[in-house]
């Protein structure tokens, strides 16, 4: 490389470093036009310097290759707490001012860039939704590489560069996601270029990968399936030179791999290149502060000079540090970057801060969801026929998969459970992505597949997030209990969506859709360890404008729910549905109407005569509770025919919330019309019963609300025994009615005894036979 080009790269890097330091420290005098005084410095110094020079280096060199090759690019900054670096680069390339015109590319804008950083009312200290060019919040660590792969899938023209900090590399989700390269199709997918940045330290400790011998690290990365290129140093020009060469080598190899697969028909699994970049933490920052080493140590992690306002020595050191970048060579008198600084910067939407891939809504097309009529089950009479709801959904998903075969903008992800969850019809339209070895006995593996299965919920979630954030559609099917594995990931995605919904320049993206199945009530093979319905509780703590929870009670309501969530935008939708045979309650029209309301009376199931309020409301949410409520209603019909019972089914859980607490919340009059203001409500709920109270505590009738649900009494047993143990069974529900309807206790005592007897019969039968009572196993809805 010519010296001139190296000097230009170095100028860009110095400018970015200068701007990073300025953001952390200054609220005035951004160009150091005068000597630095304490009042130029922010009163609260908040941010992360340590990783910034490394991120700036990668960004500078990415600029060069993107410009030189006209390469479509996206960058994922794993150490995104180095927000000052990414913001500095976006400002330098002009994409920041394009997004936020008041932060102009001049002295005034530089002043605003500095002041707003980590300042109340300003911008977060991390790479965040507010940062142009970002799809990855830089706070919680572990998800950069899976996000990068998600972005690269089905974007064959795209290069996703992913910087992985050596801190993040210690996390489980990151460690697992290295194997994503076994799922990257060199024909239809883009490329991911991991840059493992070893600056040696975390907050207060050395990092593991920086402290194993280079040969061992190299073996590890080759074991992950990569060809590592090592760039090491602390001399800027030597590192620039080595980094430029490594970038060229990596991009050449990627181009070669893609050409071989796309044009040459090569079918082997490629060994993709990656870069190991080893530079000092806080490189070019203060070498020592107060007599302690800082550059190249963990002490450079956040704010190396902490007392700048009060300590004149610190102030002098800060000024010397900033002037060491020679800002007068980098910015003209108006504060604009010089031509030399901008020499490496690409144009237009090749700029990393302006790439449309980071604003996925720009690329998003509506998903073709076929008419549900083609998949719906016929229901002549409710509660007689049985279907596996997720299997019915599988038919719909197969069609979506088939209809996106050309567009390639829909993927189904799951941890090795697609078939277990009865969605295997999708294999007719697409196999499972797989680039590793295939044996003759294997089924449905496909180098070009869009069904993604790896036994890592973290990787599944990260892939899907990256895919959605870059403008595509998808669904995550997961065992209900184990979706808790991604609790913390979904937190961040909800936060992301909450923030982007307020940013006009961010276009809506497809919702993150969960299908939770193999749920708490049907863990016949597994038992207690697989029983946990608490993800619903977790999700409903989050931003109400983003989160939605649906509990369709049968196959057709699941279809209708699926259609809705697949079309929705900027939400996190949680759909809980069973994979075991389940009664069909509603035909498609009724299912659609019911789902549109979200909660409603099942007139045909109750015994109201319409002349007065019912004596009791039997409410249900979830497939198993719905079955038990209907069975209880049929028992009441037989044994207490004079009782006016209303059956209410809730599909959309947020309907129970007050209107001002959730967009789907019900106004009080509507709630009262459904549940009454003063009649007992026996509510059979899929999950933890207190959640229903938490949703409904403001309602007038709340004191009359009695909820049955999962009480953490999990075990290995039959389906009906599970509901009996948790007091959610039909017999107990009838007893609850008798206990709660005023005046019924004495009159209905014999019926109550019948119910108790039935429970005793159950206990005796199951001990003997290990199966459910025939009267339960063979029960169907008797009709009127």
Give yes or no for residue 338 binding its own copies (CB under 8 A).
no
Q: Is 717 in the site for its own copies (CB under 8 A)?
A: yes
- Residue 579 found at the interface with its own copies (CB under 8 A): no
In angstroms, what is the minimal distance from the CB of 419 to its own copies?
Answer: 4
Binding characters for its own copies, 63-82, by CB under 8 A (x = yes): ------------------x-
702 binds its own copies (CB under 8 A): yes
Q: Tokens for 24, please give them.
A: 């952390």
Q: Which is nearer to its own copies, 121 or 750 (CB)?
A: 121
Beta strands across the sheet bearing 410-414? 445-446, 432-433, 451-453, 410-414, 473-479, 512-517, 572-576, 547-550
Angle, CA of 712, 714 and 716, to the nearest 5°: 180
Are 423 and 394 in contact by the 8 Å Cβ rule? The answer is yes
Q: Which distant-in-sequence residues (6+ apart) come within 8 Å of 256 by Cβ?
A: none
Cα atoms in the Cβ-side hemisphere of radius 13 Å centred on 483:
29
Verify binding: residue 360, its own copies, rule CB under 8 A.
Answer: no
Among residues 84, 86, 116, the alpha carbon closest in space to that of 102 is found at 116
- The nearer residue to its own copies, 528 or 604, going by C-beta atoms, is 528
Q: Is 532 one of the binding residues for its own copies (CB under 8 A)? A: yes
Site for its own copies in 230-289 (CB under 8 A): none
571 binds its own copies (CB under 8 A): no
**Contact string 380-409 vs its own copies (x = CB under 8 A):** ------------------------------
> 11 vs 308, which CB is nearer to its own copies?
308
The residues with which 517 forms a beta bridge, in sequence order, are 479
- Residues 466-505 within binding reach of its own copies (CB under 8 A): 481-482, 484-485, 487-488, 491-492, 495, 498-499
CB closer to its own copies out of 338 and 717: 717
Q: Could you tell me which stretch among 57-65, 139-147, 578-586, 669-677 binds its own copies (CB under 8 A)?
A: 139-147
Q: Is 434 in the site for its own copies (CB under 8 A)?
A: yes
Q: Is 192 in the site for its own copies (CB under 8 A)?
A: no
Among the listed residues 245, 237, 284, 273, the one whose alpha carbon sits nearest the alpha carbon of residue 64? 245
Which H or E element spans position 388?
Answer: none
Tell me if 123 contacts its own copies by CB under 8 A.
yes
Per CB under 8 A, 432 contacts its own copies: yes
Closest to its own copies by CB, 643 or 682: 682
> Which of residues 34, 102, 121, 378 is near its own copies by CB under 8 A?
121
For 326, other C-beta atoms within 10 Å of its C-beta total 12
Q: Is 220 in the site for its own copies (CB under 8 A)?
A: yes
- In whole angstroms, how close is the CB of 108 to its own copies at the nearest point? 18
Give yes or no for residue 677 binding its own copies (CB under 8 A): no
- Write down the least CB distance from residue 129 to its own copies, Å: 9
What pairing do the DSSP bridges indicate for beta strands 226-232 and 158-165?
unpaired
Contacts to its own copies from residues 10-29, by CB under 8 A:
27
Which residue from 17, 52, 284, 297 is in contact with its own copies, where contact means CB under 8 A?
A: 297
374 or 769: whose CB is closer to its own copies? 769
Interface with its own copies, residue 128, by CB under 8 A: yes
Binding mask 721-760 for its own copies (x = CB under 8 A): x---------------------------------------
Q: Is 105 in the site for its own copies (CB under 8 A)?
A: no
Query: How many Cβ atoms sit within 10 Å of the Cβ of residue 783?
Result: 12
**Residues 388 and 623 sit within 8 Å (Cβ to Cβ):** no
Residues 43-62 that bind its own copies (CB under 8 A): 43-44, 46-48
Nearest partner of 551 among 638, 603, 490, 629, judged by Cα: 629
Cα torsion through 306, 312, 317, 318, rounded to 10: 60
What is the number of other CB atoms lying within 10 angstroms of the CB of residue 438? 12
For residue 596, CA distances in Å to 536, 646, 656 come to 20, 20, 15
Q: Residue 639: how many CB atoms within 10 A of its CB?
A: 16
Shortest CB 721 distance to its own copies, Å? 5
Q: CA angle at residue 769 from 767 to 771, to 5 degrees? A: 95
Return all residues near 671 (Cβ < 8 A) that are at least 6 apart: 656, 696, 699, 701
């Amino acid at each position: 490389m010519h010296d001139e080009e190296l000097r230009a790269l170095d100028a860009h890097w110095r400018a970015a470093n200068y701007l990073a330091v300025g953001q952390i420290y200054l609220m005035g005098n951004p160009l150091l036009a005068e000597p630095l005084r304490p009042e130029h410095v922010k009163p609260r110094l908040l941010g992360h310097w340590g990783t910034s020079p490394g991120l700036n280096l990668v960004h500078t060199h990415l600029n060069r290759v993107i410009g030189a090759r006209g390469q479509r690019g996206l960058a994922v900054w794993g150490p995104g707490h180095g927000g000052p670096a990414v913001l500095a680069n976006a400002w330098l390339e002009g994409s920041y001012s394009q997004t936020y015109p008041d932060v102009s590319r001049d002295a005034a804008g530089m002043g605003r860039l500095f002041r707003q950083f980590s300042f109340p009312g300003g911008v977060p200290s991390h790479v965040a939704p507010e940062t142009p060019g970002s799809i990855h919040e830089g706070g919680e660590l572990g998800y950069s590489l899976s996000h990068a792969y998600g972005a690269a899938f089905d974007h064959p023209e795209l290069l996703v560069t992913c910087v992985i900090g050596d801190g993040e590399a210690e996390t489980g989700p990151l460690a697992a996601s290295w194997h994503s390269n076994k799922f990257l199709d060199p024909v239809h997918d883009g490329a991911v270029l991991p840059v493992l940045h070893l600056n040696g330290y975390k907050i207060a400790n050395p990092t593991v990968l920086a402290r194993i011998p280079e040969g061992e690290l190299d073996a590890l990365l080759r074991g992950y399936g990569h060809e590592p290129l090592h760039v090491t140093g602390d001399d800027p020009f030597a590192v620039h030179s080595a980094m430029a060469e490594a970038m060229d080598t990596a991009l050449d190899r990627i181009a070669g791999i893609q050409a071989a697969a796309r044009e040459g028909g090569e079918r082997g699994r490629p060994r993709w290149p990656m870069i190991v970049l080893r530079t000092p933490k806080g490189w070019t920052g203060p070498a020592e502060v107060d007599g302690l080493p800082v550059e190249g140590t963990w002490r450079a992690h956040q704010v190396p000079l902490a007392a700048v306002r009060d300590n004149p020595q610190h102030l002098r050191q800060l000024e010397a540090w900033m002037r060491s970048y020679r800002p007068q060579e980098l910015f003209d008198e108006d504060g604009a970057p010089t031509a030399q600084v901008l020499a490496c910067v690409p144009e237009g939407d090749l700029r990393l801060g302006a790439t449309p891939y980071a604003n996925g809504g720009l690329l998003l097309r509506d998903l073709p969801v076929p008419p549900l009529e083609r998949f719906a089950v016929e229901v002549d009479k409710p509660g007689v026929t049985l279907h596996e709801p997720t299997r019915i959904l599988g038919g719909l998903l197969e069609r979506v998969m088939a209809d996106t075969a050309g567009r390639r903008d829909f993927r189904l992800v799951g941890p090795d459970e697609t078939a277990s969850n009865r969605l295997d019809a999708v294999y007719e339209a697409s196999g499972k992505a797989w680039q590793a070895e295939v044996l003759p006995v294997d089924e449905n593996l496909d180098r070009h597949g869009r069904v993604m299965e790896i036994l890592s919920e973290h990787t599944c979630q990260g892939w899907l997030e990256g895919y959605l954030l870059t403008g595509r559609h998808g669904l995550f099917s997961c065992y209900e209990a184990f979706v808790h594995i991604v609790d913390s990931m979904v937190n961040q995605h909800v936060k992301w969506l909450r923030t982007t919904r307020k940013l006009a320049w961010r276009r809506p993206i497809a919702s993150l859709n969960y299908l939770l199945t193999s749920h708490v009530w049907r863990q016949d093979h597994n038992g207690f360890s697989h029983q946990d319905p608490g993800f619903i509780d977790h999700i409903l703590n989050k931003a109400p404008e983003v989160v939605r929870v649906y509990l369709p009670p049968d196959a057709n309501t699941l279809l209708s729910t699926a259609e809705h969530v697949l079309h929705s935008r900027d939400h996190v939708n949680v759909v809980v549905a069973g994979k075991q045979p389940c009664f069909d309650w509603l035909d498609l029209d009724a299912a659609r109407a019911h789902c549109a309301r979200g909660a409603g009376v099942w007139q045909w199931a109750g015994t109201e005569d319409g002349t007065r309020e019912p004596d009791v409301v039997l409410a249900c949410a979830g497939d198993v509770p719905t079955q038990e409520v209907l069975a209880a209603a049929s028992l009441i019909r037989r044994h207490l025919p004079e009782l006016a019972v209303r059956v209410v089914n809730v599909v959309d859980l947020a309907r129970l919330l007050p209107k001002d607490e959730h967009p789907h919340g019900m106004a009080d009059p509507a709630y009262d019309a459904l549940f009454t203001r003063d009649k007992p409500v026996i509510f059979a709920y899929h999950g933890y019963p207190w959640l229903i109270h938490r949703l409904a505590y403001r309602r007038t009738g709340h004191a009359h609300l009695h909820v049955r649900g999962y009480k953490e009494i999990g075990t290995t047993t039959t389906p009906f025994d599970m509901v009996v143990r948790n007091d959610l069974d039909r017999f107990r529900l009838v007893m609850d009615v008798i206990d709660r309807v005023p005046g019924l206790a004495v009159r209905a005592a014999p019926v109550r005894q019948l119910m108790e007897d039935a429970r005793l019969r159950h206990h005796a039968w199951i001990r003997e036979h290990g199966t459910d009572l025939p009267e339960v196993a063979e029960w169907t809805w008797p009709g009127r």
